[in-house]
Amino acid sequence: MHSFWVRSSRLLAVLVTSLSFIALTGCSSYIPQNILAPFSPAAEETASLFYFIFWIAVVIFIGVEGMLVFFVLRYQRRAQDEHPEQYHGNTRLEITWTIIPALILVVVFAFTIRTMGQTGPTSPPGKGIPIKVIGHQWWWEIQYEDGKVLTASELHMPTNTVMNIVLNSDNVIHSFWVPSLMGKTDVMPSHDNQTWLLGNITGIFSGQCAEFCGAQHANMLFRVIVQSPSDYQAWLANQQQPPFEPAPGSPAERGKQIITDPKYLCVGCHAIQGTNAVGITGPNLTHFASRGCFAGCRFENNHENLTRWLTNPEAMKPGNLMGQALTKLKPETPYNPLTPDEIAALTAYLESLK
Ligand SMILES: [Cu+2]
């Protein structure tokens, strides 16, 4: 299916999206969500199928509309008493225009089946890295090494290595989608689905939940970070380290005391390895500062956003479980159970969890 047209239209799509994105962000390694800018064999198959069907449709469109215009002009009534020639069926013509579209559909069907085979759930044979991705409302949990490494919102993988992904949800149905790497796969509660990813070049690929799952569905984003194998190993090794231990008397140490103090509730929902924070409702925070984004990748992980998040998570991502729980527990006060001092201490601690 790699015709000149497929190639040139794909090149155009890649150029337009990358250029507009570089212009918008000044960053070239971030690849936006675009199935027409494929960066993996599976995504290329999907884009090729799209262009194949698109150009068939263009030819049919031009043929049908062209004939329509031609007949309207050529056979229009030219005199008041003129009547068109009357036909009562033309079997041969009717069979022809039934069989041709049917044949086109058979061809489209055959190529679709072929592409479906190439885009999961069965990954290419060979050694792959098994990981698990859990859809939460409204963020993604990613588990490496049989659940010994837990992270959120950012899926790291080495180049030229298949990631074999088992998908599951702890609530409603979500859909795992990285448009420039792989098609959508439903994420079901109590049922494992499978997909796989393969990235040939390093870069950050944008992903998105693609099945409506509640109020913040549109903000259930994630990133796939394709790295060189050595960068990936370094990342994985760091994730396996115990969390940073703040110096006695430092603001970060005060933050650790607050976050692990049950009266602030954080421990019920978040886990930080080696502490009494063992909650699984919210993202694991053991290496929170190693992530570039948070809250379902809705926000860049920086000091300002983190301060805003701890001040009022409900205002930043309305309906999210953390905001809801903290707001409902103190319904009589306008939301802010944490003082600015406490928030400063918490951010100091969270920012040290590299
Ligand atoms: Cu979702």
Q: What is the pLDDT of residues 280-290, one digit of tens each?
A: 999 999 999 99
Helices (H) and strands (E) in the chain, counts: 10, 13
Q: What is the pLDDT of residues 188-243, one digit of tens each?
A: 999 999 999 999 899 999 999 999 999 999 999 999 999 999 999 999 999 999 99
In this structure, the dihedral spanned by the alpha carbons of residues 144, 147, 148 and 151, taken in order and rounded to 10 degrees, is 60
Q: Kindly list the domain boundaries of the chain, sorted by start residue.
A: 4-25+36-118, 128-239, 251-352
251-352: CATH topology: Immunoglobulin-like (2.60.40)
Separation of 214 CA from ligand 1 center, angstroms? Answer: 7
Per-residue pLDDT, averaged over 244-260, amounts to: 94
CATH 1.10.287.90 fits 4-25+36-118, yes or no: yes
Per-residue pLDDT, averaged over 24-52, amounts to: 82
Whole-prediction pTM: 0.86
* Residues 152 and 281: beta-carbon distance below 8 Å: no
**How far is CA 60 from its chain centroid?**
34
Separation of 221 CA from ligand 1 center, angstroms? Answer: 9
Q: Report residues near ion ligand 1: CB below 5 Å.
A: 174, 209, 213, 220
Separation of 329 CA from ligand 1 center, angstroms? Answer: 26
Separation of 135 CA from ligand 1 center, angstroms? Answer: 7
Separation of 216 CA from ligand 1 center, angstroms? Answer: 8
CATH 3.30.450.20 fits 128-239, yes or no: no
Separation of 309 CA from ligand 1 center, angstroms? Answer: 21
Q: What is the pLDDT of residues 299-327, one digit of tens each?
A: 999 999 999 999 889 899 999 999 888 77
* Residues 236 and 228: beta-carbon distance below 8 Å: no
Rg (CA), the chain: 27
Q: Could you report how far apart the first and last alpha carbons of the chain are, in Å?
A: 46
Domains 128-239 and 251-352 share a fold: yes
Separation of 173 CA from ligand 1 center, angstroms? Answer: 7
